[in-house]
Structure 1
């Protein structure tokens, strides 16, 4: 064993111990530091934000709920608590650290965590036995995504939603509404002040006549 390998092993153990001691907060911070462009905030959403974002969802008629950028699962359990027993929650994240954490900590049979891109949502949904999603939730920071990625995600989301479904977006700037407006004719807007920072909320509806 080389000197570098010998010194790396104890360092890795120390990092693992610190991560375990900090729990989900440690995983969240580490994921943010590794790829801040893809993480909306270093502070998880408040209970008030979660309740407001999920408020318009028709849970009785929801068979598939999709989330982009779940992080350490701030929205996952609230969604599962409301979801029908025969429904499914698919979460998609490009960060394998978050996906590994979610797979280890959420054991609900309705839950599926995928390491991938939100732009590939149609293929991911089909791979898990569905053609359409009822709702798609996103906390991805649209304003800081690489050029072209935001519109690609919004377009793919519109295609994968069933008629009558909705794209639920929470952001810290109003720019997400600009990306959504290219594909969603009806967008309801809200603002939650009890959040760090205050949160803009958008509900883009795929109307029946669209």
Structure 2
């Protein structure tokens, strides 16, 4: 009986490892969505077209700190790192420990910092790493479905965290995300990316 139980456990462990290797980052992303659907917002990572269009307005020569909320499996991380200066920093914040653990193992770049925490604490987090402000903050968090009134709190804290001339970059399935940005950013550029699952609204809120 003990041998049978041990053999069964071993088989399940091997199957889990094989599934993990087969699905790779997609498996991590799907697992994260199942555990925290209201925080992840989508079951499929953003398309390359969304990434390119979202990052297009960034002034990379004058970017020292780029922050991302909810990086998931890092769909934006490598493109951001590829564009950043050698002395710049990419700091990502996520409440999902599975995503943070995955990113810390997957991305080997001295400019990359992954933090397990809440976007609502962005000012404390960047200060803890020696920064006064972020140049740009990117977010795919589903503002309209975040629990405990987190949407307005995150928008307000983000506005405080960004330097003058910087921007809050937001991609969402719902246009209502603009409502959370409007009280804090007078100039908001808008866009739309059809080639994404689902098609999404793009917003760039500029800090005066």
Q: CA deviation at 1:18?
A: 1.0
CA distance in 2, matches of 1:107, 1:4: 39
Paired with 1:158 and 1:145, the residues of 2 have a C-alpha distance of 18
Contiguous gaps of at least 5 residues in structure 1: none
TM-score of the pair, normalised by structure 2 = 0.94
CA distance in 2, matches of 1:4, 1:56: 58
| Superposed counterparts of 1:106-121, under 5 Å | 106-121=107-122
Judged with a 3 Å threshold, the aligned counterparts in structure 2 of structure 1 residues 177 and 105 are, in CA distance, closer, same or farther, namely same
Counterpart of 2:27 in structure 1 is: 26
Q: Residues of 1 paired with 2:101 and 2:46: CA distance?
A: 21
Matched, 1:143 2:144: yes
**2:157 counterpart SS class:** helix
Query: Aligned equivalents of 2:200 and 2:10: distance in 1?
Result: 41
Q: In the TM superposition, what are the counterparts of 1:1-40 in structure 2 within 5 Å? A: 11-40=12-41
Give, in whole Å, the separation in 2 of the partners of 1:6 and 1:127.
48
Equivalent-residue separation in structure 2 for 1:179 and 1:13 (angstroms) = 46
- CA-based RMSD: 1.7
Residue ranges of structure 2 left out of the alignment (5+ in a row):
none
Partner residue, 2:123: 122
CA distance in 2, matches of 1:5, 1:155: 53
1:48-101, Cα deviation, whole Å (9 max, x unpaired) = 111110010000000000000000000000000000000000000000000000
Indicate yes or no: 2:55 matched with 1:54: yes
- Mean alpha-carbon deviation: is it higher for 68-77 or for 190-199? 190-199
**TM, length-normalised to structure 1:** 0.93
| 1:135-180 CA-partner distances (Å, limit 9, x unpaired) | 0000001111014100010001000100111000000011110011
Question: How has the CA–CA distance of structure 1 residues 22 and 120 changed in structure 2, closer, same or farther, with 3 Å as cutoff?
Answer: same
* Cα gap change, 1:103 to 1:150, in 2 (>3 Å): same
Q: Where do residues 44-83 of structure 1 align in structure 2 (5 Å cutoff)?
A: 44-83=45-84
Alignment correspondent of 1:180: 181
SS in 2 for 1:155: helix
Residue 167 of structure 1 is matched in structure 2 by 168
Relative to structure 2, which stretch is displaced further, 8-17 or 113-122?
Answer: 8-17
- 2-side partners of 1:91 and 1:48: how far apart? 21
